[in-house]
Chain A
């Protein structure tokens, strides 16, 4: 059994009188020392997965199905207190906004020491020694322990947040867009530092981002999400060399690569599905240029066209044709026209 096993995870938010499944039947597993990049557009459920794993969902959200097993131990249904004890020691999160993750009225050192003492049996002195160690790991000087958050630059704050998350060598690290607000030079340093530490302490890492090029650089596996579901999952290198799912093909078209001469970027027309009113069939059907009746009737299961590569599409055998067509703007233009027609019809009937 893998170190982290997530099976059919369902996370539901209640909104007004209704509800929506932000994460709908997501399964994946991760061995020790492996890293998985989770990518997708806003609203695809990637951050919800992170919060679900930490069990730090907002009040209106809850895990409504499935299981999360860390090292064989079931996490779903654990008491708040049991879960609190797990955090930082067993599972730690590097959050997106370093600016808000730190308490402005305590020094960074106090916050680190408090975290270490609350989650381990170390005394103050040992905790302080540990704090100095992790500061060194993330490349901050010891004297910064005495600084308040406002005295640090954005990059330093982000490193302090990383230090905070990694103090107890957690076997599972969840990084939610840890570098999105930073400049590229800073981002580059921080990414490689996270990677180095993750390898050193042999943790598993889930790295959540909207930037597929970051995943390409630092994760071994990639999971592409759309509308609360997994569309494609593969080894990162395989995924970037030959993706299968039409959504992945669309994403690659839309992404500028700095080292390549780009003829034209092509976007995916339309917008993500309304999860409060889910259509039967494939989640991507409305924006997919290859959608057929079957896609509207029947939800695709996973096909494994290559060992270790999973794609949630009915037609993995037509991938050559899809790749060829997806590279042309016209293919996606037909989707745009169809969506405009549908809107007009909708307006006429409504």
Chain B
């Protein structure tokens, strides 16, 4: 992974204007929800980067901007040397071939009137494949990669004949049939039963191993991120608060928010003694952000200097960055913030 990163994201911003109805006429000051606020990231070739955070953190928006389902407000995203908003015909086509997305709900992403074959063959046809024999063979291959075996059993099935796990495999097969370079997976297993989740996760891991696929794995579930990702970026209110190798971040989180998030994950181990950090669980105001660190209103370790925080990432340990102005060992619980409850 020493060569140039596949994806470089620089100062990415996405602001949504807030509509205030009639008041807009009298108040010229525009307000925005800063869904993604100045984030920079790189993803190396063959790397799986996990993007974590709660609802409203901007993780899904980031994923959608990378696949151009949404337009960015400002910033730069470069994929393999080409800016993704290259609007030449050739540039657009290359982008559509190289970047694919898998969504959360396998019940809604497949066209109910298309067979599995039609669904997977469609991208091939759009990208100029004409030879029917070749298309058939490629679809067959994709089904085999997806462990939808024997493929002849599935080729002419409709989505309603398939289970949730099988549908998600079809959706992934459609995503990889053009051999993309980059895949964005937004909560791809959260709708699936536990016993089949592992299959999909292993499949994604296998795609990286066998095809060298680079991935952005967007999820709120830290346990699956830990299992599948190399690095993790934790987002809070549009900012990246912590970034680093998954094993480090999830064994020794540095940013207070990551610590809180980690402590809230239920653990299926009766012998595990957990340090519970209880904080205010209300979703913060996304329009009137606090001065300085955005986690101030909920942070159990807050101090006076936190209002000077600029969310700059500090490399406190090799490869592990935190946006907190304090090192982890200097964090002390602020007594005013202790919530007295089990």
Which residues in A have their C-beta under 8 angstroms from that of B184? none
A214 CA to B201 CA, complexed, in Å: 21
Residues in B with CB closer than 8 Å to A241 are 270-271
A254 and B170 CA atoms in complex are apart in Å by 21
> Nearest chain-B residue to A239 (Cβ)?
B270
B interface residues, how many (CB within 8 angstroms): 47
A221→B41 CA distance, assembly (Å): 45
Does A258 contact B223, Cβ atoms closer than 8 Å?
yes
- Tell me whether A195 is interfacial, beta carbon within 8 Å: yes
B272 CB contacts on chain A under 8 angstroms: 259
Nearest-Cβ distance from residue A254 to partner chain B, whole angstroms: 4
Minimum CB–CB distance from B230 to chain A (whole Å) comes to: 14
Whole-angstrom CA separation of A258 from B222 in the bound complex = 7
Q: B87 on the interface (CB 8 Å rule)?
A: no
A184, B261: Cβ atoms under 8 Å?
yes
Q: Which of B197, B260, B261, B266 lies in contact with A213, CB distance below 8 A?
A: B266
Residues 240 to 262 of chain A near chain B (Cβ within 8 Å):
240-241, 250-262
Which residues of B, 245-280, contact A by the 8 Å Cβ criterion?
A: 247, 250, 260-272, 276, 278-279
Contact of A254 among B195, B263, B267, B342 (CB under 8 A): B195
A298 within 8 Å of B by Cβ?
Answer: no
Whether B193 pairs with A217 at a CB distance below 8 angstroms is no
Bound CA–CA A207/B271 (angstroms): 21
Q: Chain B nearest CB: distance from A183 CB in Å? A: 4
| Residues of A43-77 whose CB lies within 8 A of B | none
Given A183-B54, A185-B260, A268–B278 Cβ distance below 8 Å? no
Cβ A185 vs Cβ B264 within 8 A: yes
Over the window 182-215 of chain A, the binary record of Cβ atoms lying under 8 Å from chain B Cβ atoms (1 yes, 0 no) is 0111111111110110000000000000111111
Given contacts A156-B282, A185-B281, contact A240 B268 (CB under 8 A): yes
Q: Which residues of the partner chain B approach A240 to less than 8 Å between Cβ atoms?
A: 268-270
Given contacts A216-B269, A250-B195, A258-B250, contact A264 B202 (CB under 8 A): yes
Q: Which listed segment binds B: A5-13, A14-22, A340-348?
A: A340-348
Set of chain A residues within 8 Å of B54, measured between Cβ atoms: 183-186
Q: B201 near A265 (CB under 8 angstroms)? A: yes
B311 / chain A contacts, CB cutoff of 8 Å:
none
**How many residue pairs at the A-B interface have CB separations less than 8 Å?**
140
Contact at B195–A41, with CB atoms within 8 Å?
Answer: yes
Nearest-CB distance from A347 to chain B (Å)? 6
- In angstroms, Cα B250 to Cα A250, docked, is 25
Does B198 lie at the interface of the complex (its beta carbon under 8 Å from any beta carbon of A)?
yes
Answer whether A257 and B223 are a contact pair too, CB < 8 Å, given A184-B264, A271-B163. yes
Distance to closest chain B CB from A65 (angstroms): 27
A residues within 8 Å of B by Cβ? Answer: 41-42, 139, 153-156, 183-193, 195-196, 210-217, 236-237, 240-241, 250-262, 264-268, 271, 340, 343-344, 347
Q: List 16 A-B contacts (CB under 8 A).
A: A155-B281, A185-B260, A186-B54, A186-B281, A188-B276, A189-B341, A210-B193, A210-B194, A213-B266, A213-B268, A216-B269, A217-B266, A259-B269, A271-B196, A344-B150, A344-B153
